[in-house]
Amino acid sequence: MSLESIVALTKRRGFIFPGSEIYGGFAGTYDFGPLGVALRKNIVDLWTRSMQEHDNMAQLDSSIVTSGKVWEASGHVSGFSDPLVLCKACHTKHRADHVLEAIGVTADEKMSEKELNELFDEHRKNLTCPNCGKKDFGAVTAKNLLATTSLGMFEEGDTQSYLRGETAQGIYINFKNVLDTGFYSVPFGIAQVGKAFRNEISPRQFLFRKREFEQMEMQYFTPESEARADFAAWKEERMNYYLSLGINPDKLRFKQHENLVFYAKDACDIEYEYPFGWGELEGIHYRGNYDLTQHQQFSGVDLSVYNEETKERFLPHVVETSVGLDRTMLMILSDAYHEDEMGGDKRVVLKFNPKLAPIKAMVSPLLKNKPELVEKAREVRAALKKVHPVIAWDDNGNIGKRYRRQDEIGTPFCITIDFDTLGENPELLNTVTLRDRDTGTQERLTIAEVEEKIRQAVS
């Protein structure tokens, strides 16, 4: 399966559209159509529910635009950059580490601009532009990824403000506010879902690297003595979470970070094997108490917590779990995408977990020109909509075509109302056929049994 086939299907069926398409596009952005919105909402709901399973988990929705001082304190203004290199032949911009990677050379994330230039120069004669194929690169420069904004009444001398580069900083700056509500005590977590923005040098691989994207982040504030055990527990929990969604275990793995940034105590990624190869899905980081220390120092506000037992104040340590909604969506689409043969026909099918499927079931009268069938089918649909609101209707074309359309968008169940439902065969009165997306098998069930089956599959 290729990335191109997923891109084509998701556009054709209304999951994902290229950003600003009618104006020729706008790199690093995508718009989400009706089915895309539904899939994203289901992903967010499941992630939120997995966080809510912890008794001590708060939720937050902090601003996208914050005081610029937040990003000075966090270190993003001075140190949140990627190495940029310009092709002098075709004037396209590239990430120097990606250009090096193409010939099998790995640049350490912590390398300074000078060290990267030395490494680049060492291999320069072998490095070709991914766009024009020429060997004519300029020098490597560190390009800050924060996107500036002019929101606010700016006056000369005001601190520059930014669109947030991650949602995590909004959590750190509200740590004390949440604690002061009196409903939480250390150890506890704050979970947040929201947009983040980065001036990525080369947005690529569809939803994998965008300039405007969405994150689902959780910061767990814990005493230093418990932090390593918490880090190990969160690692296990997050991997089990993906397995519980039915993601292919052979396509998931941990990747330990070898070269930690100076404040980090431990870090690993959960990687997925996307159609273009292994790549980061989620980061799990033990960050010490660096973030609270920085914000305490820059803001002058005491962010420490009182320990009743030791009678001392302390700054909690933080274990972070951070995953992109867009990368999760790409993983789920890649994992679900299958091409197979059913009844002698080739088909494309998205084998979504029913909990994630944008549409839970489709109801169909066998023939659309028989009012009694249509009326009964509408009645069945109305009953199923009480179990879950997203139950589709399709009476177009023959039944096989209707099934294929639903297979392509991952609808787990198709329900057909025929003359037996109406009592042509009295033994089958008020029964319907329920067709399973993955196997194509059909079973005859009562309407109550179908309701129960859908209820169990989606909840």
Smallest distance from ligand GAP to CB 193, Å: 12
Which parts of this chain interact with ligand GAP (CB under 6 A)?
166, 168, 198, 200, 209-210, 213, 215, 217, 280-283, 320, 322-324, 326-327
Q: Least distance to ligand GAP from the beta carbon of 35, Å?
A: 20
Would you say 84 or 323 has its CB closer to ligand GAP?
323
Of 89 and 145, CB closest to ligand GAP = 145
Number of Cβ within 10 Å of residue 393's Cβ equals: 13
Annotate 19-31 with three-state secondary structure: CCHHHCCCCCCEE
In this structure, the dihedral spanned by the alpha carbons of residues 152, 156, 159 and 163, taken in order and rounded to 10 degrees, is: 40
User: Between 217 and 418, whose beta carbon lies closer to ligand GAP?
Assistant: 217
Between 13 and 285, name the residue whose CB sits nearer to ligand GAP: 285
Taking CA atoms, 297 is separated from 20, 23, 292, 300, in Å, by 42, 46, 8, 5
For Cα atoms 371, 377, 382, give the angle at the middle one, nearest 5 degrees: 125
Q: What does the alpha-carbon distance between residue 324 and residue 54 come to, in Å, rounded to a whole number?
A: 21
Shortest spacing between CB 407 and ligand GAP, in angstroms: 28
* Shortest distance, position 279 Cβ to ligand GAP, whole Å: 9
What per-residue string of b and e applies to 322-340 under the rule 16 or more CB within 10 Å gives b?
Answer: bbbbbbbbbbbbbbbbeee
How is residue 81 annotated by DSSP? E
- Reported in sequence order, the residue ranges of 152-265 that DSSP labels E, i.e. its strands, are 161-163, 188-197, 212-222, 252-256
Residues 292, 196, 139, 26, Cα dihedral to 10°: -170
Q: Based on CB atoms, which residue is closest to ligand GAP, 62 or 117?
A: 62
State the residue number with the nearest CB to ligand GAP: 324
Cβ proximity to ligand GAP: between 46 and 323 the closer is 323
Tell me the closest approach of the beta carbon of residue 235 to ligand GAP, in angstroms.
Answer: 14
State the nearest-atom distance from the C-beta of 161 to ligand GAP, in Å: 19
